[in-house]
Structure 1
Amino acid sequence: MKKIKIGLMLSFSLIVLAACGNVASSSGASGISKNNSSSGYQTTGQTSDSNYEGVIKSGKYLTSKSRGVALTQNENVLNLKSFESGLLDLSKSQFATNDYIFQEGQYLSKETVQNWLSRESGSNSEGLNPKDNGKTGETERNPMYVQQLEEQDFMTKKDNKMALAGISLGIGMNSVDYYQKEEYGAQYKTEISDATMKEKGKEAANKVVARLRKTKGVSDSVPIMVAMYKQASNDSLVGGSFYAYAVNKNGKTTIDSWKDVSITSYTFPTTSSATTPNTNDETTFTNFKTEVQSFFPNLAGVTAQVQYKNKAITGMHINITSQFYSETEIVSFTQYLATTAAKYLASGIPIDITVKGSDGTIQSFLAKSAKDSSYYTHVFTSY
């Protein structure tokens, strides 16, 4: 049986921090403006209608009970990032940011998720992965299909109290199962076909929904959205992709129908084998990259992580590695980036640009929201 580990997923923490803003006060941001005497809840406030308010309880941010539980084989950190960000994006389509308050998962404990991600066995009847059949051949063994689970809760304010009004559950499925025939031995892998992955994913989703419906505090009136995610292989330059979701309502314990969805990630420049949904997007990035490098030759690399939803670009993260050492160079470069990015890169989507030195130190940061036409900039000084 593969061991389970707990890993902090930085990407989602950053998303939540970006969404939180300052704690709401009676004259400040919208939301629950002060501690409620009976519940002790506050919200973080809302700095943008594209982000959720978060929950603060008894003066502290309410953290997830099970975030980061995953199989040890998940060596591609981009899987973790795209899994959480994509799940939050799908959640927004079901639970509007202006109508719901985000709460970190509180109904699935660390121990519960650990048991569910393990193999079914005599000591663990709740394992979502099949029993070990004792075989080690790549096509003979029973692979591990379910890789990770993520719970997101959505609350509403009712009678001056927080009430659970929705749950999103992401289920990450393996496309490749990595394993060892002996401890510390060579790594082998079992390829899992899309058809098998989807079949096993549906089975796991029905079990999870049925169990969640029996969980204390989850009433029949609470809708549960389940989103299925295909893990990318360990050597992939991008993370995996969401391929289907379903919304379970009215206390049902099974999922009758699924909706196809495509949330995928790409790296610019792409490899020769990768084909993006819209080649114009890479062309504009290439023009931006060429322009920047022609004026500032001391650049070691300009790359981008790009996300698409149903073939439409939804966001871009650009990383630039520089060989600048002078603060005046960094300031000038950052100013030039803000002008050039506004000229060449796509409008109507969120974009951020991180400039790092050759030692990995962040030198400057630029960002804009989907609604903005200009970029916010910040240069990190040495003092």
Structure 2
Amino acid sequence: MNCAQLLHGVEKGDIMQSYNKWIKWGLGALAILALIGILVFFGNYFSKNNVDNSHDTVTTKSNGKNGVQVTGKTNNSNYKTVIKNGHYLTSKARGVTASKNNNQFNIISFENGLLDFSKDHFSPSDYVFQEGQYLDSNTANDWLGRKSKDNPNGLNPNDNKKTDSSRNPIYLQTIEEQDYMKQKDGKLELGGIVLGLGMNTEDTYQKEQYGANFVQKISAEDRVAQGKEMAQEVVQRYRKMNGISNDVPIVVAMYAQAPDDSLAGGNFYSWNKSASGDKLGNWNKLNYKTVTLPIQGSQDDPNQKSPAADLNKSFTNFTNNVQNFFPNLSSVTGQATYKDSQVKELNVTISTQFYSATEITNFANYVAQVAPNYLPKGVPVKISISSSSNMQAYVTKQANDDKYTTTILGNN
């Protein structure tokens, strides 16, 4: 082979090698461009859908001037809520009570029931929910205390030093404030206030320090009369607070607490409204009722026309199903809240003897699978699964949902 032939062979080989490299590079570049195009297309698609359906997602809208934001909402039956400086705006008097509340069912039915009651007066489509910001904890403590020289603002009667049925009991147990805001020109303005007054049906006291506990029953007549006077006084005091104008409507809902040993919470029994000024109008009755499931004794009568009869039957079937499938259950109980003979909410508590993470997970998933077959539709349902030592899982659904969501808390 001469030099010319050798050179020709080298040039030809280099050209073919370069050609192959360019082909491979070009195909790779086209693939990358195609991938980018696909990502851009779907990115724009999902972005557009998120904008169009923003009312169904949890988003925030900022005031921009004072760091106040409003969350989105998942459906039209829920309120938007207020966030300030990146944090949920909590109540200034959260958890303040006249005495220790030993019945946790009271807390659940009081807070949830008050929020449900508020929707009849301040629609979620028109108002934004804000935790109470006007009554602070120190003032709440004074109001819930007994009236005395040291505490002239006490709403409960003075201590008459009696230790029998003639003693002055603690009537007012708690006050819950809910603020309802209106969005106007990018700002939030107070549009209304709802006040829940929790009244005792019995008062636990001691005749001597560290002595035995005694229970004083409070008649319905005394509870209602005292509640009306206290509600009027509370409205007058709110009208004097800074930031509450004379024409902001104030709605008061009265709640009768269940006894400490009750397996259910109490009930809302009346409401009133101050449209303007510091005077209340006419009192209106509320038909709320809390029912413990399964219904025991004579109430568990298949011929009874109780509004809870059908729910009790389906709840019993649900209990039998899960207990047959998972025998290591201590108990299954429920608390249903009714308004005008219609169930509004159901809270279920399942006590287990599970110890392994797989048992908890499998059981929670099974509950979520069978619950739609037995438990009511169209209302929020919360199922708490716990052992004797800790909470293990939640199975929940919102009022407008059909499927249940499972949350596993671990096995600590």
Aligned twin of 2:211: 185
More helix by share: 2
Q: 1:75 aligns with which of 94, 102, 122?
A: 102
Is the 8 Å Cα contact of residues 26 and 33 (structure 1) preserved in structure 2?
A: no
Is the 8 Å Cα contact of residues 29 and 47 (structure 1) preserved in structure 2?
A: no
Aligned twin of 2:403: 374
Aligned twin of 2:239: 213
Mapped pair 1:168 → 2:168: no
Is the 8 Å Cα contact of residues 316 and 351 (structure 1) preserved in structure 2?
A: yes
Aligned twin of 1:20: none
What is the deviation of 1:71? 1.4
Aligned twin of 2:161: 134
Pair 141,356 (structure 1): closer, same or farther in 2 beyond 3 Å: closer
What is the deviation of 1:281? 0.8
Is the 8 Å Cα contact of residues 335 and 348 (structure 2) preserved in structure 1?
A: yes
What is the deviation of 1:274? 5.6
What is the deviation of 1:361? 4.0
Mapped pair 1:340 → 2:366: no
Show the 5 A alignment for 1:21-60. 29=54, 33-60=60-87
User: Larger Cα Rg: Structure 1 or Structure 2?
Assistant: 2
Aligned twin of 1:21: none
AA partner of residue 205 (structure 2): Y
Q: 1:272 aligns with which of 297, 319, 339?
A: 297
Q: 1:319 aligns with which of 349, 354, 368?
A: 349
Say which structure, 1 or 2, has more relative contact order (CA 8 Å, 6+ apart). 1
Pair 118,372 (structure 1): closer, same or farther in 2 beyond 3 Å: same
Aligned twin of 1:13: none
What is the CA–CA distance in structure 2 between the aligned matches of 1:125 and 1:380, rounded to whole Å? 47
Aligned twin of 1:196: 222
Pair 371,140 (structure 1): closer, same or farther in 2 beyond 3 Å: same
Q: Deviations over 1:285-332 (max 9, x none)?
A: 001111222222222222112111122111112222233445444444
SS at match of 1:69: coil
What is the deviation of 1:358? 5.0
What is the CA–CA distance in structure 2 between the aligned matches of 1:218 and 1:261, rounded to whole Å? 27
User: Structure 2 unaligned runs (5+)?
Assistant: 1-49, 301-305
Is the 8 Å Cα contact of residues 201 and 256 (structure 2) preserved in structure 1?
A: yes
Aligned twin of 1:11: none
Pair 58,365 (structure 1): closer, same or farther in 2 beyond 3 Å: closer
AA partner of residue 262 (structure 1): N
Show the 5 A alignment for 1:251-330. 251-272=276-297, 277-330=307-360
Pair 232,217 (structure 1): closer, same or farther in 2 beyond 3 Å: same
Is the 8 Å Cα contact of residues 62 and 70 (structure 2) preserved in structure 1?
A: no
Pair 91,377 (structure 1): closer, same or farther in 2 beyond 3 Å: same
SS at match of 2:62: coil
Pair 329,130 (structure 1): closer, same or farther in 2 beyond 3 Å: closer
AA partner of residue 79 (structure 1): N
Q: TM-score, normalised by structure 1?
A: 0.86
What is the CA–CA distance in structure 2 between the aligned matches of 1:110 and 1:336, rounded to whole Å? 43
What is the CA–CA distance in structure 1 between the aligned matches of 2:150 and 2:388, rounded to whole Å? 50
What is the CA–CA distance in structure 2 between the aligned matches of 1:135 and 1:215, rounded to whole Å? 36
AA partner of residue 371 (structure 1): N
What is the deviation of 1:26? 8.8
Is the 8 Å Cα contact of residues 143 and 155 (structure 2) preserved in structure 1?
A: yes
What is the deviation of 1:140? 1.4
Aligned twin of 1:4: none
Q: Deviations over 1:133-169 (max 9, x none)?
A: 22222x2111111111011101111222110001010
AA partner of residue 238 (structure 1): A
What is the CA–CA distance in structure 1 between the aligned matches of 2:356 and 2:96, rounded to whole Å? 42
What is the CA–CA distance in structure 1 between the aligned matches of 2:342 and 2:90, rounded to whole Å? 32
Pair 156,177 (structure 1): closer, same or farther in 2 beyond 3 Å: same
Percent of aligned positions that are identical: 45
Pair 259,303 (structure 1): closer, same or farther in 2 beyond 3 Å: same
User: Structure 1 unaligned runs (5+)?
Assistant: 1-24
Is the 8 Å Cα contact of residues 182 and 189 (structure 2) preserved in structure 1?
A: yes
